[in-house]
C-alpha cells in the first residue's frame, strides 16, 4: 500500500472523509488507476465459491476488475487461480463460465497449461519436418499467465495479485470476520445466479451497500413492512482500515412507531395479501433479521431473513458495472426452509422488493453529476470518522470505504 502519491486529475481532494469529489466517479484515468492499484493491487477479491470447483480439474472463470481470471482445483485438492490469458498472443484460455478439464489448452494455437497455469507444451515447438518452430532457447517456464495468491474462507475463494498483501483474515479484520462466520458456517448450495447491469460507476454501488442511512428511506417496502427501520435495534461495524463492514438489523419491536411520520417511507396502511411470503426462521441462533457484510472493493454477503446471497462487483468502464448475484441455500436445508428462501428471494436481486431501487439509484447519481466535476458529495451523517456505531443513522461505513480506497489509490 506504499504506492507513490498520484496526481489528482481534477482539483484537490477535500480535507477529511466527509466530502467525495464527483470526478472520482467519472474520470477514465481514475478507472485505469483503480485497475492497477486496487484490482491488481494489495486488495483481496472474491473469485467464486469453493463448491463451484469441488473436484480436481473443475474450473470457474471470473473477473478481478477488468482482468479475466480462472479458478481451478488442482490434483492435490488446492484451489488456485491465474489470469485467463494465454502467454502467447493473449487470447482467453477458458471461454465458458466453468467446466471440468484435465489441463487447459488455448484454442488459438494450442498452447497448453497444467491446472496451476504453468505452460507445459507449445504446438509445433520443434517445427514441422525440421523447419520452423520456436528457438531452442525459448524457456516455457519463463512464460505464463499471472498467478494469483488464493485463500479460502467460509466456502468463499478470494484472490490477490499482491505478494505483499496481508493474509485474508487480517485484511477483513476480526470484528467483521465473526459476521461472515455467523452466516457461512455450513456447506453451501447455489440456488440461482443472475447478473444485474447497473448504469453507474462501481463505487456508487459499493457506497450504497455500505450506506446504512438510505435503506429504510429509499426502500419503502422495507419500512412499511417493518423489516427494517432505523428505529429498530442494530448497528454498523467498520474495521480499522475501512476495508470491511457489517451492518445488522434486529427483529422489530412490537407496537406503533412514529419516527418516520410524514416521510414518503411512512405508509402504515400497506398490507400484504399473502403475508406467508415473509415467513422466516431465525436460523443463526440470534435475532438479527438482516445482515450485510462487505469486503473492499467488490464483495458483499447478504442475509435478509433467510434470503442469502453473495454479490460480486465487476466494473465495466467509468459509468457501468456488472453485479453478479449468487443466491444461496445450505446443502442440508429442509424443504420448508428452502421454500422460505425461494419466496423471500423476492426481497433481493434485480427484481427485489427491497433492492430493485439500488439498481437504479447509482444511475440517478451518475446522471446527476454529469456536469459537477468541481463539486463534492456530502458524507457527514453521524460525524466525520469511520468507526463502528450502534446506530444505522450514520455514513461511517461509507467513509470507511473511502478510507480504504484512498489508501490503495494513494490519494
Q: Select the span of 24-32, 188-196, 241-249, 381-389 touching other proteins (CB under 8 A).
A: 188-196
Of the candidates 389, 325, 403, 383, the one whose C-alpha atom is nearest the C-alpha of residue 358 is 325
Q: What is the smallest separation between the CB atom of 60 and other proteins, expressed in angstroms?
A: 13
Q: What is the smallest separation between the CB atom of 200 and other proteins, expressed in angstroms?
A: 9
Taking CA 185 as the corner, what is the angle to CA 341 and CA 313, rounded to the nearest 5 degrees? 65
Alpha carbon distance 79, 179 (integer Å): 24
Site for other proteins in 222-281 (CB under 8 A): 224, 267, 270, 272-274, 276-277
Q: What is the smallest separation between the CB atom of 40 and other proteins, expressed in angstroms?
A: 25
Q: What is the smallest separation between the CB atom of 282 and other proteins, expressed in angstroms?
A: 21
Determine which residue in the list 9, 57, 68, 199 makes contact with other proteins, applying CB under 8 A.
Answer: 199
Determine which residue in the list 193, 253, 317, 368 makes contact with other proteins, applying CB under 8 A.
Answer: 193
Residue closer to other proteins (CB basis): 220 or 388 = 220
Determine which residue in the list 57, 192, 235, 410 makes contact with other proteins, applying CB under 8 A.
Answer: 192
Residue closer to other proteins (CB basis): 194 or 284 = 194
Q: What is the smallest separation between the CB atom of 308 and other proteins, expressed in angstroms?
A: 10
Site for other proteins in 107-166 (CB under 8 A): none
Q: Give me the sheet containing 149-153, strands edge to edge.
A: 45-49, 156-160, 149-153
- 356 with 200: CB under 8 angstroms? no
Q: Select the span of 80-88, 172-180, 295-303, 358-366 touching other proteins (CB under 8 A).
A: 358-366
Alpha carbon distance 115, 96 (integer Å): 16
Alpha helices in 127-201, H assignment, sequence order: 168-172, 174-183
Residue 353 near other proteins by CB under 8 A: yes
Determine which residue in the list 43, 49, 64, 198 makes contact with other proteins, applying CB under 8 A.
Answer: 198
Residue closer to other proteins (CB basis): 165 or 356 = 356
Residue closer to other proteins (CB basis): 22 or 205 = 205
Q: Give me the sheet containing 79-83, strands edge to edge.
A: 79-83, 67-73, 58-64, 98-100
| Dihedral over Cα of 21, 12, 317, 210: its sign | negative
Count of CB atoms situated within 10 Å of the CB of 264: 10
Residue 7 DSSP one-character state: P
Cell of 76: 492435490
| 77-101: burial string, b at 16+ Cβ within 10 Å, e else | eebbbbbbbbbeeeebbbeeebeeb
Site for other proteins in 64-103 (CB under 8 A): 97
Determine which residue in the list 363, 365, 387, 393 makes contact with other proteins, applying CB under 8 A.
Answer: 363
Q: Select the span of 47-55, 76-84, 189-197, 245-253 touching other proteins (CB under 8 A).
A: 189-197
Per-residue interface string for the shown chain with other proteins, residues 322-351, x marking contact by CB under 8 A: x----x----------x--xxx-xx--xxx
Collapse the DSSP code of 17 into the 3-class scheme (helix H, G, I; strand E, B; otherwise coil) and give the result.
coil
Alpha carbon distance 409, 63 (integer Å): 20
Of the candidates 382, 307, 323, 349, the one whose C-alpha atom is nearest the C-alpha of residue 204 is 323
Paired residues of 113 in beta bridges: 104, 119
Q: What is the smallest separation between the CB atom of 247 and other proteins, expressed in angstroms?
A: 21
Number of residues that bind other proteins (CB under 8 A): 40
Residue 194 near other proteins by CB under 8 A: yes
Determine which residue in the list 43, 64, 218, 369 makes contact with other proteins, applying CB under 8 A.
Answer: 218
Q: What is the smallest separation between the CB atom of 97 and other proteins, expressed in angstroms?
A: 8
Q: Is 54 exposed, middle or buried (0-12, 13-18, 19+ CB in 10 A)?
A: exposed
Alpha helices in 353-395, H assignment, sequence order: 356-368
Binding site for other proteins (CB under 8 A): 97, 190-199, 218, 220-221, 224, 267, 270, 272-274, 276-277, 322, 327, 338, 341-343, 345-346, 349-351, 353, 356-357, 359-361, 363
Amino acid at each position: 500500500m506504499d504506492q507513490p502519491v498520484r496526481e489528482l486529475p481534477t482539483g484537490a481532494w477535500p480535507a477529511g472523509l466527509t466530502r467525495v469529489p464527483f470526478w472520482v466517479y467519472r474520470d477514465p484515468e481514475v478507472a485505469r488507476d483503480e485497475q492497477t492499484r486496487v484490482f491488481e493491487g494489495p486488495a483481496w477479491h472474491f473469485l467464486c465459491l469453493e463448491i463451484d470447483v469441488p473436484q480436481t480439474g473443475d474450473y470457474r472463470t471470473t473477473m478481478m476488475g477488468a482482468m479475466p481470471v480462472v479458478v481451478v482445483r488442482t490434483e492435490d485438492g488446492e484451489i488456485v487461480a491465474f489470469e485467463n490469458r494465454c502467454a502467447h498472443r493473449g487470447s482467453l484460455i477458458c471461454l465458458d463460465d466453468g467446466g471440468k478439464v484435465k489441463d487447459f489448452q488455448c484454442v488459438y494455437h494450442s498452447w497448453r497449461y497444467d491446472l496451476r497455469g504453468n505452460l507445459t507444451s507449445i504446438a509445433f515447438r520443434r517445427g514441422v519436418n525440421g523447419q520452423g518452430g520456436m528457438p531452442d532457447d525459448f524457456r516455457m517456464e519463463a512464460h505464463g499467465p499471472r498467478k494469483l495468491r488464493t485463500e479460502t474462507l467460509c466456502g468463499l475463494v478470494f484472490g490477490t495479485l499482491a505478494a505483499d498483501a496481508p493474509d485474508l483474515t487480517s485484511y477483513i479484520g476480526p470484528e467483521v470476520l465473526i459476521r461472515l462466520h455467523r452466516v457461512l458456517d455450513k456447506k453451501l448450495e447455489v440456488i440461482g445466479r443472475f447478473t444485474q447491469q447497473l448504469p453507474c460507476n462501481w463505487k456508487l454501488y459499493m457506497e450504497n451497500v455500505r450506506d446504512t442511512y438510505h435503506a429504510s428511506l429509499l426502500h419503502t417496502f422495507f419500512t412499511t413492512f417493518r423489516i427494517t427501520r432505523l428505529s429498530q435495534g442494530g448497528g454498523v461495524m467498520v474495521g480499522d482500515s475501512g476495508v470491511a463492514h457489517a451492518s445488522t438489523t434486529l427483529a422489530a419491536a412490537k407496537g406503533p412507531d412514529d419516527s418516520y411520520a410524514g416521510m414518503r417511507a411512512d405508509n402504515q396502511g400497506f398490507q400484504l395479501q399473502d403475508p406467508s411470503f415473509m415467513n422466516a426462521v431465525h436460523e443463526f441462533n440470534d435475532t438479527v433479521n438482516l445482515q450485510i457484510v462487505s469486503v473492499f472493493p467488490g464483495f458483499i454477503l447478504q442475509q435478509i431473513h433467510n434470503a442469502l446471497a453473495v454479490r460480486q462487483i465487476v466494473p465495466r468502464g467509468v459509468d457501468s458495472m456488472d453485479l453478479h448475484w449468487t443466491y444461496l441455500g445450505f446443502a442440508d436445508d429442509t424443504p420448508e426452509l428452502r421454500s422460505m428462501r425461494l419466496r423471500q428471494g423476492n426481497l433481493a436481486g434485480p427484481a427485489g422488493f427491497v433492492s430493485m431501487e439500488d439498481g437504479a439509484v447509482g444511475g440517478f447519481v451518475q446522471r446527476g453529476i454529469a456536469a459537477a466535476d468541481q463539486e463534492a458529495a456530502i458524507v457527514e451523517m453521524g460525524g466525520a470518522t469511520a468507526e463502528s456505531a450502534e446506530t444505522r443513522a450514520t455514513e461511517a461505513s461509507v467513509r470507511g470505504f473511502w478510507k480504504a480506497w484512498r489508501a490503495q489509490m494513494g490519494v
